[in-house]
């Protein structure tokens, strides 16, 4: 599958496939280009001289950086096994700082006579340590929170400290209340005003208006209200359905007019202070942002003219993340940067207000993805690989079957002139061999021989193709077919659900051995027994890659006696998946009962870094509890079973003890595998 990206910027670095550095001349820069780390990773991720990925949580121009590989090794020594989700809270701080700097630059540039005041949409990542870090880092900016449901409202109410700069003309963090609301939701939000908080109840359904009017009369608390508009501007890509006349959320223009009329009748028109819209997440194209702001700004101006006490224009989320680093309007990318985004918003709102002769609003945004993605890195190990055979076949003898002799002949004579033709010969002979087997004329050993020779042909051809400058159509899939399967200690369903559900792309690369040429080509298969539990699409500057360049596993030779399983165990090989801090952690599921991974929070200190928090991943006992198994009952059942078997003399006491001990210790262990 090849998707072409529109508006590709020509000034990109060379695509990875254009490079053919030999192993001996392979450099760190080659790895940087191959994995595109500058495109998606700047300014937080880079590669050091040791060939390890480094993290600079405050951006690479200042602050410390740390070696991700060394960090993982030291966490392992603290009994924090892989897979491991590592959060860098300073990255959150840096994202917030960048967002505010961009907005403030735009405000200065266009002489905007108003201010910016953002909120974080909790649904993007609800974990307590993260929300608390955002509130903490957001204090200097009076940064608030957005709740999209009653549970999220409860988080927001507890997390936001009320009015910590009461002196600054009522400038305090906002609590934007979105989502479906019942009476309890509205009552709670209204009562929170008495705590000095600033909840703004956004009317998303017309019924909520009547409920809000009724509740506020009853409690005698004046609400601050907003309306969510259904814009006609269409989002694009995967998450583009949040707008349009048939969108799930928001009010149509006739409904907004109804809101104004009803509020007027209830003598509450001065409560209507905010206009909100949300085009969708990951808006890849700046033109969509522009169109939406243009439409919303005009609605805002009209609301002012109708007498509403408008103060805020909330532009929702959608600020995109460049997952593949291509700077295009491809769904995994974006063709604009944060500053372009800020400029367009500020300029358009200013123009519309000037034209309509109304006071400009405080600009609110609800960026989730752009704030939370970069701070989490998921590190996991490779348990083993399945490769197509790599040893050269032994020559076929005169007395062997004709089909095998033909395959050998084909293999022997493959060269740069005939590789395309011989590829088809090899396929044909292999198919003949399979037919012979199916008809009972070939032994299992003969079939094995035929397959071995066929793969040897493919390997030889795959080695010739890169020297030819172009890949003939019929050979395009060969590299993919020859790819190794890397078995990873992870559940895609738990840790990166969007990779499975909507084919979202995340940057993935080894976090060490980057001074070494990655000579293997692989796809990733996870621990679940589900054939969808795999990753076979990878970021690329031009298209999407079907394979990922990886290093062959190295084997430690433990010359230890009889234990076959330990004779050749693979040396640890760690992969990192980056930009996974938004949406992935909460939507994961317990497919095959693989639970939450271990999580650590790393914070930079003047001397380096410290482990701020550790949240241990689920144990087997915990995930079994989610599906209503009681560990005590399970152990008791197993104990009774062993007693019966003991009485019937089917098991020895020693075996029974060993079984029960394993059973009990498994219940308390991590759901993922521990490398031998």
User: Which residues are annotated as part of the binding site?
Assistant: 313-323
The structure tokens listed for 617 are: 């991943």
Q: Hey, which residues does 380 pair with through a beta bridge?
A: 575
Q: Which is nearer to ligand PLP, 51 or 237 (CB)?
A: 237
CB of 291 to ligand PLP, least distance (A): 17
Site for ligand PLP (CB under 6 A): which residue of 51, 81, 223, 317?
A: 317
Site for ligand PLP (CB under 6 A): which residue of 52, 198, 327, 369?
A: 369
CB of 138 to ligand PLP, least distance (A): 15
Q: Which is nearer to ligand PLP, 80 or 313 (CB)?
A: 313
Q: Is 240 in the site for ligand PLP (CB under 6 A)?
A: no
**Residue 188: is it exposed, middle or buried by C-beta count within 10 angstroms (0-12/13-18/19+)?**
middle
Q: Which is nearer to ligand PLP, 317 or 522 (CB)?
A: 317
Q: Is 367 in the site for ligand PLP (CB under 6 A)?
A: yes
Q: What angle do CA 405, 411, 415 make, to 5 degrees?
A: 140
Q: Binding site for substrate, residues? A: 313-323
CB of 232 to ligand PLP, least distance (A): 18
Q: Applying CB under 6 A, which part among 50-58, 363-371, 539-547, 602-610 lies near ligand PLP?
A: 363-371
CB of 572 to ligand PLP, least distance (A): 34
- Contact by Cβ (8 Å): 597, 615: no
Number of residues that bind ligand PLP (CB under 6 A): 19
Tell me the C-alpha distance between 269 and 266, whole Å: 8
Site for ligand PLP (CB under 6 A): which residue of 81, 173, 325, 368?
A: 368
Q: Is 319 in the site for ligand PLP (CB under 6 A)?
A: yes
Tell me the C-alpha distance between 537 and 421, whole Å: 29
Q: Which is nearer to ligand PLP, 342 or 407 (CB)?
A: 342
Q: Which is nearer to ligand PLP, 97 or 409 (CB)?
A: 97
Exposed e or buried b per residue across 94-110, where buried means at least 16 C-beta atoms within 10 angstroms of its C-beta = bbbebbbebbbebbeeb
Q: Is 513 in the site for ligand PLP (CB under 6 A)?
A: no
Site for ligand PLP (CB under 6 A): which residue of 178, 326, 375, 671?
A: 178
Tell me the C-alpha distance between 240 and 618, whole Å: 34
**Residue 436: is it exposed, middle or buried by C-beta count within 10 angstroms (0-12/13-18/19+)?**
middle
Which parts of 560-599 interact with ligand PLP (CB under 6 A)?
582
* Catalytic-role residue among 124, 177, 353, 529: 529
Q: Is 148 in the site for ligand PLP (CB under 6 A)?
A: yes
CB of 230 to ligand PLP, least distance (A): 12
CB of 569 to ligand PLP, least distance (A): 42
Q: Is 190 in the site for ligand PLP (CB under 6 A)?
A: no
Q: Is 144 in the site for ligand PLP (CB under 6 A)?
A: no
Q: Is 316 in the site for ligand PLP (CB under 6 A)?
A: yes
Q: Is 285 in the site for ligand PLP (CB under 6 A)?
A: no
3-state secondary structure of 47: strand
**Residue labelled with tokens 């497919």:** 591
**Residue 594: is it exposed, middle or buried by C-beta count within 10 angstroms (0-12/13-18/19+)?**
buried
Tell me the C-alpha distance between 125 and 317, whole Å: 14
- Contact by Cβ (8 Å): 281, 243: no
Site for ligand PLP (CB under 6 A): which residue of 41, 318, 510, 595?
A: 318
CB of 148 to ligand PLP, least distance (A): 6
Q: Which of 203, 20, 91, 225 is nearest to 580 (CA)?
A: 91
Q: Is 331 in the site for ligand PLP (CB under 6 A)?
A: no
3-state secondary structure of 674: coil
Q: Which DSSP symbol is given to 308?
A: -
CB of 103 to ligand PLP, least distance (A): 14
Supply the Cα-derived Rg of the chain in whole angstroms. 30
Pairing of β 520-525 and β 484-488: parallel
Q: Is 36 in the site for ligand PLP (CB under 6 A)?
A: no
The structure tokens listed for 127 are: 């974990």
Q: Provide long-range contacts, Cβ within 8 A and 24+ apart, for 55-63.
A: 55/88, 55/377, 57/88, 57/89, 57/90, 57/91, 57/94, 57/602, 57/604, 58/90, 58/91, 58/93, 58/94, 58/604, 59/94, 63/90, 63/604
Exposed e or buried b per residue across 502-521, where buried means at least 16 C-beta atoms within 10 angstroms of its C-beta = eebbbbbbbbbbbbebbebb
Site for ligand PLP (CB under 6 A): which residue of 366, 425, 546, 596?
A: 366
Q: Is 102 in the site for ligand PLP (CB under 6 A)?
A: no
Q: Which is nearer to ligand PLP, 366 or 381 (CB)?
A: 366
Q: Which is nearer to ligand PLP, 80 or 176 (CB)?
A: 176
Q: Is 99 in the site for ligand PLP (CB under 6 A)?
A: no
Which parts of 391-430 interact with ligand PLP (CB under 6 A)?
none
Binding mask 628-667 for ligand PLP (x = CB under 6 A): ----------------------------------------
Which parts of 209-228 interact with ligand PLP (CB under 6 A)?
none
Q: Which is nearer to ligand PLP, 498 or 546 (CB)?
A: 498
The length of the chain in residues reads: 676
Which parts of 263-282 interact with ligand PLP (CB under 6 A)?
278, 281-282
Please state the φ and ψ torsions of residue 453, each to the nearest 5 degrees: -65, -40
Q: What angle do CA 343, 202, 103 make, to 5 degrees?
A: 15
Q: Which is nearer to ligand PLP, 203 or 523 (CB)?
A: 203
Q: Applying CB under 6 A, which part among 313-321, 356-364, 390-398, 467-475 lies near ligand PLP?
A: 313-321
- Does residue 529 have an active-site annotation? yes
Q: Which is nearer to ligand PLP, 208 or 381 (CB)?
A: 208
Tell me the C-alpha distance between 83 and 495, whole Å: 9
Write out the residues near ligand PLP by the rule CB under 6 A: 121, 123-124, 146, 148, 178, 278, 281-282, 316-319, 366-370, 582
- Residues acting as catalytic residues: 529
């Amino acid at each position: 599958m090849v998707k072409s990206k529109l508006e590709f910027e020509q000034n990109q670095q060379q695509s990875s496939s254009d490079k053919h550095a030999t192993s001996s001349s392979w450099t760190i820069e080659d790895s940087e280009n191959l994995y595109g780390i500058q495109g998606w990773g700047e300014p937080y991720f880079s590669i050091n001289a040791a060939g390890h990925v480094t993290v600079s949580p405050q951006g690479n121009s200042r602050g410390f950086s740390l070696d991700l590989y060394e960090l993982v090794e030291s966490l392992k020594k603290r009994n924090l096994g892989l897979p491991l989700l590592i959060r860098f809270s300073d990255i959150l701080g840096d994202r917030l700082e960048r967002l505010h700097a961009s907005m403030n630059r735009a405000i200065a540039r266009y002489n905007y006579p108003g201010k910016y005041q953002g909120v974080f949409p909790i649904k993007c990542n609800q974990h307590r340590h993260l929300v608390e870090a955002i509130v903490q880092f957001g204090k200097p900016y009076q940064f608030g929170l957005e709740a999209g449901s009653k549970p999220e409202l409860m988080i927001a109410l507890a997390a936001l400290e009320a009015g910590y700069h009461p002196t600054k003309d009522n400038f305090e963090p906002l609590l934007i209340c979105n989502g479906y609301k019942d009476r309890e939701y509205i009552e709670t939000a209204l009562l929170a005003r008495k705590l000095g908080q600033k909840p703004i109840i956004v009317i998303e359904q017309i019924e909520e208006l009547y409920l809000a009017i009724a509740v506020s009369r009853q409690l005698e608390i004046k609400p601050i209200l907003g309306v969510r508009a259904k814009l006609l501007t269409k989002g694009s890509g995967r998450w583009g359905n949040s707008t349009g006349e048939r969108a799930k959320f928001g009010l149509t223009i006739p409904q907004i007019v109804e809101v104004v009329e009803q509020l007027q009748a209830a003598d509450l028109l001065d409560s209507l202070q905010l206009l909100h819209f949300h085009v969708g997440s990951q808006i890849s194209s700046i033109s969509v942002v522009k169109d939406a702001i243009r439409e919303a700004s005009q609605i805002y101006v009209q609301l002012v003219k109708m007498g509403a006490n408008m103060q805020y224009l909330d532009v929702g989320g959608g600020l995109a993340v460049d997952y593949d680093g291509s700077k295009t309007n491809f769904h995994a990318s974006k063709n604009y940067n944060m500053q372009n985004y800020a400029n367009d918003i500020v300029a358009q709102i200013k123009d519309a207000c000037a034209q309509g002769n109304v006071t400009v609003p405080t600009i609110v945004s609800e960026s989730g993805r752009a704030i939370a993605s970069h701070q989490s890195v998921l590190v996991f190990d490779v348990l083993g690989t399945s490769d197509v055979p790599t040893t050269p076949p032994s020559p076929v003898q005169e007395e062997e079957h004709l089909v095998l002799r033909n395959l050998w002949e084909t293999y022997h004579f493959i060269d740069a002139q005939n590789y395309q033709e011989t590829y088809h010969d090899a396929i044909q002979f292999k198919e003949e061999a399979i037919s012979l087997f199916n008809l009972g004329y070939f032994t299992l050993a003969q079939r094995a021989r035929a397959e071995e020779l066929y793969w040897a042909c493919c390997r030889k051809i795959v080695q010739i193709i890169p020297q030819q400058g172009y890949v003939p159509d019929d050979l395009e899939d060969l590299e993919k077919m020859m790819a190794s399967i890397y078995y990873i200690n992870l559940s895609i369903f738990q840790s990166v659900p969007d990779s499975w559900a909507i084919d979202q792309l995340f940057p993935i690369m080894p976090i060490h051995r980057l001074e070494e040429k990655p000579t293997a080509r692989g796809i990733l298969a996870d621990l679940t027994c589900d054939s969808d539990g795999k990753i076979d699409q990878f970021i690329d500057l031009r298209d999407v890659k079907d394979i990922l360049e990886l290093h062959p596993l190295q084997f430690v030779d433990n010359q230890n006696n009889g234990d076959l399983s330990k004779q050749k165990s693979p040396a640890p090989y760690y992969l990192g998946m980056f930009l996974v801090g938004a949406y992935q952690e909460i939507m994961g599921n317990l497919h095959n009962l693989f639970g939450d991974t271990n999580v650590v929070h790393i914070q930079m200190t003047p001397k380096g870094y410290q482990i701020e928090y550790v949240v241990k991943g689920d144990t087997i006992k915990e995930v079994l509890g989610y599906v209503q198994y009681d560990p005590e009952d399970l152990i008791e059942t197993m104990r009774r079973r062993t007693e019966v078997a003991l009485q019937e003399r089917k098991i020895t006491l020693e075996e029974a003890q060993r079984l029960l001990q394993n059973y009990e210790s498994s219940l308390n262990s991590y759901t993922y595998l521990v490398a031998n």
